[in-house]
Structure 1
Amino acid sequence: MSRFLRSTSARLSLRFALLYAIITALVLGLSYHYADREISDWVSDQLAEDAAGFASLYESEGLDAVRAKLSGFAGFNFEDYRVYLLQDPEGKVLAGNVDAIDWQGSGSYVPVNAIHAEKPRYEDVTGYLLHSVQLGPNRLTLGTSTYFLEELREVLGRGFVAGFILLLLAGLLAGIIVGRRTERRLTQISATLKSVALGQLDRRIPATGSDGDDLARMADEINRTIAQLQNMVESQKQISADIAHDLRTPMQRMRQRLDVLLNAHDLTPEIRTDAEQAVEIADDLIETFHALLRIAQIEAGQQSARFAATSLAPILTRIEDAYSPVAEENGQTLVFDIEDQDATVQGDQQLLTQMVANLVENALRHSPSGTRIEVALTRADGSVLLEVSDNGPGIPAEERDKVFRRFYRLEKSRTTPGNGLGLSMVRAIADLHGAAITLKDNSTGLRVLVRFPAGSTSVIFRAPAQAGMSDSVR
């Protein structure tokens, strides 16, 4: 939630909610003002109509009829709601329920203490709205208590405040919902772009079904761009595979011709030496073509059907047997620490062996004499961990994203054997198993971590950098 509140979506949502609250407050405030004025005008109009009715009664039936009607009001005066006072020209009270009213005729409102009567006023009454009319020489004053008007105002005020709070909460909730939805969409877009940057070109932003949405249109454009990029990359890979396939047969024929040439008995020493060098070059080229074709097959997922539960300990044991003599010959130390003998993952045994072998061989090939290379198989937090580390020269941080490219080699590695495809094959195998590879420092040298999540049917491989692992790097 705290991350959402710091997001642009949250800030926009809160700003719109604040704007919505201000507009709502203005609308409700104006509504209250006009409603209050309408109610006050309606009460004043009622007083005016009553006064006009008494004037008409006076004209038609005389003063006694007016006095009789006013006397009848005494039994229907709930909580001192109405006051009335009929006075002659000298101010003598002719009829009414009050003794006097301190009012000069200016304005329509008087406080309750301006009304004089023997009976005390109802305690909640604070004032009256008045209206007077001349009945011949006499004067009739009618008044209505503001008690019910104030009660109505209070009810309206509470209603408007409650309505404002509800609308504010509704607007805030709607803003948060829209903001969270927008944040989720942006997170999906960001996650997809990060995956594409890591080489997962098959990733797409999930469709939402709302074509008119700006984010949906942007997601469609991004998906189309990724699809075009994927097609371009696949075309390049296919071209490489086609070239490797088409040239492999002529190279093998040339290799056979060179063998025939070497078997000839009349070769001079110089020609025999040149022929042997040509054979070595041809073998390197054929090996390169085989590697390209194998990478293409792996990237096409042709071997994923062979996935099965695979024990990692026997793989490491075979690699230890194969590469320990090489390390000893190079003056290097190769140490295997298989702590978890039961570690099993879902994958292709041959490909996993190839991946680990490439990493170990790369460390051996590009590290100097005296280097210590460690391979460990452990378990942590429910995950199986395969770690390969060395104290060799390492890989510069700015080069670590590049070493998985085909034929890419560090400048210092161009004089060493290799074709620059070792780590490309590692990446292809890792991708086939759902793996993610990273390269990191190992204090002195580099370190590779391969993480296999517990209970997963696919391998997740994390390779923190090695000091020279794979012929494609160093």
Structure 2
Amino acid sequence: MRFALALSAVFAIGTLSAGGLSYLFLSREMTARLSADVRSGAESLARIAATGDRTDLREQILAQVRSSRDGASLFAFVDAGSGQALGSLHVAEPFEGARRLLVGQDIPESDVTGTESAEAYLAYGIRTDLGWVIAARDEAWVAESGEILIQTTAWSLVLATLLSIGLAVVIARKNERRIDGMDRVLDEVGEGRLDRRIGDTGNDDLAALAVRVDRMLDRLEAGVASIRQVSTDVAHDLRAPLARLRMRLEPQALSADVPTETRHEIGSALIDIDAISATFDAILRLARLQSGTVARRDEAVDLAALAASVHEILQASAEDRGHTLDLDLPMMPIKVEGDEDMLSQALTNLVANAIGHCPPPTHVRIRAGLRDARPFLEVSDNGPGIPEADRARVLERFVRLDASRSVSGTGLGLSLVAAIAALHGAELVLEDNGPGLRVSMVFHSIAPEASVLTKS
């Protein structure tokens, strides 16, 4: 918008400069033409005087005076012998050549009673044998023509400026909307929606840039999809060998013929195998969710009942770790459309993250309810929390803020929650709990049959 207005300002300055130059050149041209007309009139009288016929010269001057009663043109003849003046122009002293005469100073105001706008006259005098002949014309029409040019230029400038500003604003707003669209797409891609494209159908530089960005996003999506596919294939191909390996090691861990120390090592290996298998299972579940191959059951899910069920299952585990797990539920059912198993898995992951990553004793709370008429599930704690700069990053695969990887986990728990939220059209919000972390899954609307129940 600023660039468009700057162009309009440059256009206005250019138009104003052109109008000023036109006024200057036109004024000079009209003054030169006026001077030529005055000189031509004086020379015409001088030619009559050159014949030596005073009577003819006087009649010609009187005829010129009668034909110019508006005072725009003045004529005079000053007799060389008697010094008497004849005509409509009276000057103190006759002169030769061009001269500018001011009304009231060089010309009596009584000589120009026929006109109200004359302030100065351009005169030309010629000395002849009979005397001086002088012709003069007022400069009012030059000034009037200049004023007309100034007014025309001013109106043209105003109209052209308004038109240019209006056109510039329209173009700027259109391009601004297109750029805002690009920004939204890039923001969404940055949040993980790699399928988003700009899709600009114009034929200008912005459209060409949008096409190049879309091509880049195509390559980015293909690259990320390839990496995901590789991780999925590896997880899938290694599940069966790990299961077979566990089946072979488990009898040895339980056999009395195996030394105690060896059985302990085999038991540790079985725990590591279970952790690896859990990671691979999480990778496969996340891949299926993000690829859209998992069919979501559409049923009315009571968030309050779901939260109560998860609380009952995980309360003992939280107490074993030295934590407190509380439950905060509304007085009425809050139902949304979705898959109960998936939502239960998402809430379980959130509670398990809080229990597993917070040092005891930590207060963990499960909440369900309405926020701005939108249903939500929430898990909060008073632990160390997550820095604001890392809250978007922890939703990515395998991201763990514990750089030493000393805390158990796969780094896929929040990724699974984010995928389940996206599948249900819900918004996953990570906020500061002061202290601690508050994670909310906010749904767009209540299930239709639940709204009637809520009102009742």
Q: Same fold (TM over 0.5)?
A: yes
TM-score band, normalised by shorter chain: 0.7 to 0.9
Pairing of 1:207-218 with structure 2 (within 5 A) = 207-211=200-204, 213=205, 215-218=206-209
1:190 matched residue in structure 2: 183
- Does 2:112 match 1:126? no
Paired with 2:396 and 2:161, the residues of 1 have a C-alpha distance of 56
1:47 matched residue in structure 2: 38
1:423 matched residue in structure 2: 414
Paired with 2:232 and 2:214, the residues of 1 have a C-alpha distance of 26
- Does 2:132 match 1:139? yes
Paired with 1:308 and 1:325, the residues of 2 have a C-alpha distance of 29
Paired with 1:320 and 1:365, the residues of 2 have a C-alpha distance of 15
- Rate the CA distance shift 1:160–1:373 in 2: closer, same or farther, 3 A: same
Q: Return the offset for 1:239.
A: 0.2
2:68 matched residue in structure 1: 77
- Rate the CA distance shift 1:269–1:150 in 2: closer, same or farther, 3 A: closer
- Rate the CA distance shift 1:345–1:321 in 2: closer, same or farther, 3 A: same
1:297 matched residue in structure 2: 288
Gaps of 5+ in 2: 449-456
Tell which deviates more after alignment, 382-391 or 241-250: 382-391
- Rate the CA distance shift 1:51–1:81 in 2: closer, same or farther, 3 A: same
Q: Return the offset for 1:299.
A: 0.7
- Does 2:98 match 1:115? no
Q: Return the offset for 1:312.
A: 2.4
Q: Return the offset for 1:357.
A: 1.4
| Correspondent of 2:386 among 377, 380, 395 | 395
Pairing of 1:176-187 with structure 2 (within 5 A) = 176-187=169-180
Contact 1:385 1:451 in 2 (8 A): yes
- Does 2:130 match 1:156? no
Paired with 1:117 and 1:331, the residues of 2 have a C-alpha distance of 113
Q: Return the offset for 1:171.
A: 4.3
Pairing of 1:67-466 with structure 2 (within 5 A) = 67-90=58-81, 92-93=83-84, 95-100=86-91, 102=93, 104-105=95-96, 107-113=98-104, 114-116=106-108, 121=113, 122-134=115-127, 136-211=129-204, 213=205, 215-258=206-249, 276-303=267-294, 306-307=297-298, 310-339=301-330, 341-397=332-388, 399-411=390-402, 414-434=405-425, 437-454=428-445
Gaps of 5+ in 1: 1-8, 458-474
Q: Return the offset for 1:161.
A: 2.8
Q: Return the offset for 1:414.
A: 3.7
Paired with 1:398 and 1:100, the residues of 2 have a C-alpha distance of 92
Paired with 2:59 and 2:300, the residues of 1 have a C-alpha distance of 109
TM-score using structure 1 length? 0.80
Paired with 1:143 and 1:119, the residues of 2 have a C-alpha distance of 12
Give CA-to-partner distance per residue, 1:301-356, whole Å, 9 cap, x none: 22366456544233223212222233344342222222274534454333222211
- Rate the CA distance shift 1:76–1:208 in 2: closer, same or farther, 3 A: farther
Q: Secondary structure of 1:33's match?
A: helix
Q: Secondary structure of 1:200's match?
A: coil
Contact 1:100 1:117 in 2 (8 A): no
Paired with 1:309 and 1:71, the residues of 2 have a C-alpha distance of 111
Paired with 1:163 and 1:290, the residues of 2 have a C-alpha distance of 75
Paired with 2:298 and 2:52, the residues of 1 have a C-alpha distance of 112
Q: Secondary structure of 2:386's match?
A: coil
Q: Secondary structure of 2:70's match?
A: helix
Paired with 1:308 and 1:129, the residues of 2 have a C-alpha distance of 99
Amino acid across the alignment from 1:163 = S
- Rate the CA distance shift 1:162–1:309 in 2: closer, same or farther, 3 A: farther
Contact 1:366 1:413 in 2 (8 A): no
Contact 1:384 1:451 in 2 (8 A): yes
Q: Return the offset for 1:226.
A: 2.6
Q: Return the offset for 1:382.
A: 3.3
Amino acid across the alignment from 2:156 = G
The RMSD of aligned alpha carbons is 3.5
TM-score using structure 2 length? 0.83
Give CA-to-partner distance per residue, 1:233-279, whole Å, 9 cap, x none: 11110001111111222333334445666787976666665555554
Contact 1:379 1:385 in 2 (8 A): yes
Contact 1:385 1:452 in 2 (8 A): yes
Q: How many residues align?
A: 446
Paired with 1:68 and 1:385, the residues of 2 have a C-alpha distance of 109
Tell which deviates more after alignment, 411-420 or 363-372: 411-420
Q: Secondary structure of 1:334's match?
A: strand
Paired with 2:269 and 2:366, the residues of 1 have a C-alpha distance of 37
Q: Secondary structure of 1:205's match?
A: coil
State percent identity of aligned pairs.
Answer: 31
Q: Secondary structure of 1:450's match?
A: strand
Amino acid across the alignment from 2:438 = R
Amino acid across the alignment from 1:349 = E
Paired with 1:72 and 1:416, the residues of 2 have a C-alpha distance of 119
Paired with 2:337 and 2:58, the residues of 1 have a C-alpha distance of 107
- Rate the CA distance shift 1:410–1:147 in 2: closer, same or farther, 3 A: closer
